[in-house]
Amino acid sequence: MMSQARIDTVLKLFQDAGHLTVEPPILQPANTFLDLTGEDIRRRLFLTNGPDGSDLCLRPDFTIPVCRQHLELGDAGRRADYCYSGPVFRQRAQGSGEIPQLGAESLGRDDRDEADADMLGLAVAALDVFGIRDRDILIGDETLFASVLSGLDLPAVWQRRLRDLFGETDKLSAAIGRMAGTDRSCDDTRDVRLGFLAALEGADPEAAHAVVEDLLSIAGISAVGGRTPSEIADRFLEQAALANGSGNHARAAEVLKSFLAIRGNAADSLSALENFAGETGLDLSEAIAGYRNRLDAIRARNIDPAGLTFAADFGRRLDYYTGFVFEIHSKNGEAGGQLVGGGRYDRLVKLLGAGTEVPAIGFSIWLDRIARISGRSQ
């Protein structure tokens, strides 16, 4: 266990930065997590039922519960900063499923670059309190990847498929290979063309859309992964198009592979991104300017960008993550995973019921891993 005095010191650090301490309920609606993070998380949840038969789970993270509480307390778009300390609960092969975490969230700030830098700086300051200075900081930016995609001559169906896979390196690489016609190891066109999706190919789009929505209604499905029946119908139609659209985009595939291979210290990667844009002829000026502004803001927090590692292929799998992401690891890797994980999730509050997207960024600290590398209780 970590020393409570150290935890209290970090919480005071967060509070002094303007973050209100909150304690979201441990019991949470399970369907919220299943809808937003996918069915894969089900095997890691501690599930139970409420008196009315509703599916509940022990809190598997803090970000979603904090955002739910934010919505309950007032206008979704208001500026609000939160911090927290407590357990999250996840089934895992080894160790206790009760995992102590500490973290902070910031919602409603329109100055995104400054907010990104503030939250990274706050995470670094927290690790300083715990005496963790031998660390590696990895950063990424989905905005850059999205800009590259939008600049390529790709059908919308492929742009959406590839963006959905960003952050899952192996799956993304396989999809790019299928798109170029060079990788059939995970080819799914044979199966989908034999069934329902094959029937949708070439059909009138409006009629096909209505058929899918009717089938979902009959099955009693109102949402999956945060998507409405209409959005799910769109995905079915995309799958049908994908089944008949591989092998035609070799140049785009090469450009994407070149971009995703960019990796190095964050300061040098700025030049690498500019050179990539010049060589490919893509207009990435706005995305690169955003990256440069963020690095300037990070530098102003006394964090040297040359000491950060930028990886163009680093992102989060979940749909609600957008833009800047970061992880902090111990240099020797003995913690068994990230010490801090954070990122921008501007889509989340809208997916939880707000009328519009709300700028938001946060991070969580894995206290069990910090205790592990310290070699003693702190």
Residues of each annotated binding site: 61-63, 90, 101, 105, 316, 320-321
b/e 203-216 (16+ beta carbons within 10 angstroms → b): eeeeebbebbbeeb
- Residues 6 or more apart whose Cβ sits within 8 Å of residue 154: 162, 179, 249, 252
Distance CA 213, CA 210 (A): 5
Distance CA 265, CA 55 (A): 45
Distance CA 298, CA 305 (A): 7
Q: Residues at the annotated binding site for L-histidine?
A: 61-63, 90, 101, 105, 316, 320-321
Distance CA 338, CA 326 (A): 10
Backbone angles phi, psi at 340, to 5 degrees: -135, 135
Distance CA 171, CA 247 (A): 17
- Residues 6 or more apart whose Cβ sits within 8 Å of residue 247: 178, 179, 180, 181
Distance CA 63, CA 61 (A): 6
Distances in whole angstroms, Cα of residue 229 to Cα of each of 124, 148, 213, 232, 301? 42, 29, 6, 5, 45
Pick from 324, 341, 314, 344: which is nearest to 166 by CA? 314
Task: Report the DSSP beta bridge partners of residue 264.
Answer: 310
The pairing of strands 324-330 and 20-21 is unpaired
Is residue 4 exposed (0-12), middle (13-18) or buried (19+ Cβ within 10 Å)? exposed
- Residues 6 or more apart whose Cβ sits within 8 Å of residue 214: none
